[in-house]
């Protein structure tokens, strides 16, 4: 019975093109990934600055492993706090220009642990509707009343704040949002949100997972870029994206950090992250906040302008709509040598499945130009109205021919084709 239930659930996901599968991959250069023997240009990584394979970052991890062992052996509050953890927390606090920072095993653990600890059943949490799952889970786990406001809609946020103040006059109100949104790549109207927060006496938790390394002075994030850091109570981030390592953090006042070290269950009841990841993140922070980091950010902006100069960060979504179609296009790209993931519900709302292109400072212009050309070719005629039917094949340079529901390369040997909503693909 139990196995049958599991299989039926998986079949149901399969029928809706929503089943996911684990793939073993190896990515060593930051720009290529090998999956099932095929080496692909990697546009799926959040290693935005290319630091995961940076010599100094890797060496720091190796040294820390030799010095401190492969695992910390206990939770942070028992004997798991080693010098790389303490050094990283000090560096993170300096980087975020806060009094203190607390390291967690992952960004998810940081968000879930912080929200669960900070809010309780008498409180209210107002979240942007497109907030990452870990923020939603933290809000749920806290037991607080929580409501989502329409994405980046400060009028609706104001409405919810007014409602919360009237209905729960004693409640502490938390506003939770991301600065750069993980699946849309757009940014929050942070100045307005901070103003609203102060008007209503609320607390703001800001997830800068996709902004750290990419935006702000030295890659400190959007809050820093807008000069708002010291008006935000809870700064959250991950070390697993632009900082090339793994782990997550909360930064803020010393009191906030001490409180979380005593109350955040995902911190207290979990083995400390290995010293190697903390040391790697420290090395990455040094690079990120220095001149090399500035060069990498400039390069990222240069690359972004090839795809869409209006996008503020490294994430470029290509909205497709239908989950099945998104999978088909991702598969077409894979055959052409590009790994661009299809993002489907529940990661994004129903009907907004997409290809998500993530850029890294170490990507190559020519490769990105090819990808941009292919993506433009993939826009169905009805969507773009501007697609040039005589576009040159991005693979072999021969002419492309438009047919009823596909674009096909004229070369007999190339095989490049893009099919739109056709079952024959
Ligand atoms: C916006 C956002 N917040 C938090 C996380 C969680 O971070 P981690 O991967 O370190 O658990 C992610 C990861 O995808 C994210 O995109």
Query: Any residues with CB less than 8 A from the CB of 307 and at least 6 apart, and which?
Result: 316, 357, 359, 368, 372, 375
Q: Which two tokens stand for residue 274?
A: 């290995």
Predicted confidence (pLDDT) at residue 223 exceeds the cutoff of 60? yes
Once rounded to an integer, what is the mean pLDDT over residues 392-415?
68
| DSSP helix/strand/coil, 82 | coil
The rounded Cα 139 to chain-centroid distance in angstroms is 19
pLDDT for 383: 41
pLDDT tens string 164-191: 999 999 999 999 999 999 999 999 999 9
Predicted confidence (pLDDT) at residue 285 exceeds the cutoff of 80? yes
Distance 135 CA to ligand 1 centre (A): 9
Among protein residues, the one whose CA lies closest to atom 8 of ligand 1: 107
pLDDT for 388: 42
Highest averaged pLDDT of the listed ranges 233-247, 376-390, 399-413: 233-247
Predicted confidence (pLDDT) at residue 404 exceeds the cutoff of 90? no
Which ligand 1 atom sits nearest the alpha carbon of residue 240?
10
Map out the domains of the chain as residue ranges. 1-46+315-378, 55-288, 388-425
Cα–Cα–Cα angle for 331, 333, 339, rounded to 5 degrees: 90
**1-46+315-378 has which CATH code?**
3.90.1150.10
What sign for the dihedral angle of Cα 330, 243, 229, 304? negative
- Nearest residue to 316 via CA among 359, 348, 272, 281: 359
Which ligand 1 atom sits nearest the alpha carbon of residue 247?
10
pLDDT for 392: 65
How far apart, in whole angstroms, are the C-alpha atoms of residue 82 and residue 93? 17
Predicted confidence (pLDDT) at residue 131 exceeds the cutoff of 60? yes
- Helices marked H in 19-152 — which ranges? 55-68, 83-96, 107-118, 133-142
pLDDT, mean over the chain: 91
Predicted confidence (pLDDT) at residue 254 exceeds the cutoff of 70? yes
> Does the domain made of 55-288 have the CATH classification 3.40.640.10?
yes
Phi then psi for 38, rounded to 5 degrees?
A: -105, 125
Among protein residues, the one whose CA lies closest to atom 9 of ligand 1: 107
The set of protein residues with a Cβ atom below 6 angstroms from ligand 1 is: 106-108, 111, 132, 134, 178, 182, 207, 209-210, 238, 240, 248
Q: Which two tokens stand for residue 308?
A: 């869409």
| DSSP helix/strand/coil, 133 | helix
pLDDT tens string 344-397: 999 999 999 999 999 999 999 999 999 999 998 876 533 433 334 446 666 666
How far apart, in whole angstroms, are the C-alpha atoms of residue 19 and residue 153? 32
pLDDT band for position 425 (cuts 50, 70, 90)? very low
Contacts 24+ apart (CB under 8 A), 78-85: 80/271, 80/272, 81/272, 82/272, 82/275, 82/278, 83/275, 84/275, 84/276, 84/278, 84/279, 84/282, 85/272, 85/273, 85/275, 85/278
Once rounded to an integer, what is the mean pLDDT over residues 65-72?
98
How far apart, in whole angstroms, are the C-alpha atoms of residue 265 and residue 364? 43
pLDDT tens string 88-116: 999 999 999 999 999 999 999 999 999 99
Percent of the chain predicted with pLDDT > 90: 82
User: Which residues belong to the active site?
Assistant: 182, 210, 241
């Amino acid at each position: 019975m139990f196995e049958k239930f599991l299989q039926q659930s998986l079949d149901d996901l399969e029928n809706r093109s929503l089943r996911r599968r684990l793939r073993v991959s190896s990515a060593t250069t930051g720009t290529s990934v090998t999956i099932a023997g095929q080496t692909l240009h990697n546009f799926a990584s959040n290693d935005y600055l290319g630091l995961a394979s940076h010599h100094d970052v890797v060496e720091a991890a190796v040294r820390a492993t030799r010095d401190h062992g492969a695992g910390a052996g206990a939770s942070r509050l028992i004997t798991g706090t080693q010098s790389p953890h303490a050094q990283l927390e000090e560096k993170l606090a300096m980087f975020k220009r806060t009094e203190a920072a607390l390291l967690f095993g992952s960004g998810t653990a940081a968000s879930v642990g912080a929200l669960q600890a900070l809010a309780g059943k008498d409180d209210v949490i107002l979240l942007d509707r497109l907030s990452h799952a870990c923020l939603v889970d933290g809000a749920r786990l806290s037991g607080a009343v929580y409501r989502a406001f329409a994405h980046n809609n400060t009028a609706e946020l104001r409405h919810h704040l007014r409602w919360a103040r009237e209905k729960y006059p004693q409640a502490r109100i938390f506003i939770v949002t991301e600065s750069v949104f993980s699946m849309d790549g757009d940014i929050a109207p942070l100045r307005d949100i901070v103003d609203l927060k102060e008007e209503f006496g609320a607390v703001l938790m800001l997830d800068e997972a996709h902004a750290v390394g990419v935006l702000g002075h030295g890659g400190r994030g959007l809050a820093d870029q807008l000069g708002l850091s010291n008006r935000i109570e809870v700064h959250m981030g991950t070390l697993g994206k632009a900082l090339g390592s793994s782990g997550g953090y909360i930064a803020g006042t010393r009191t906030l950090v001490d409180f979380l070290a005593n109350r955040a269950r995902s911190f207290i009841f979990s083995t400390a992250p290995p010293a190697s990841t903390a040391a790697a993140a420290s090395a990455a922070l040094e690079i990120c906040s220095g001149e090399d980091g500035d060069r990498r950010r400039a390069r990222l902006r240069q690359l972004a302008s090839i795809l869409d100069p209006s996008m503020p960060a490294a994430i470029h979504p290509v909205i497709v709509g239908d989950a099945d179609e998104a999978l088909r296009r991702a598969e077409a790209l894979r055959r052409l040598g590009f790994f661009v993931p299809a993002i489907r519900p529940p990661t994004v709302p129903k009907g907004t499945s997409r290809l998500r292109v993530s850029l890294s400072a170490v990507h190559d212009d020519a490769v990105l130009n090819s990808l941009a050309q292919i993506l433009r070719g993939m826009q169905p005629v009805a969507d773009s109205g501007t697609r040039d039917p005589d576009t040159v094949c991005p693979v072999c340079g021969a002419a492309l021919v438009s047919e009823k529901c596909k674009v096909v390369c004229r070369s007999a040997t190339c095989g490049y084709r893009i099919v739109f909503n056709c079952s024959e693909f």
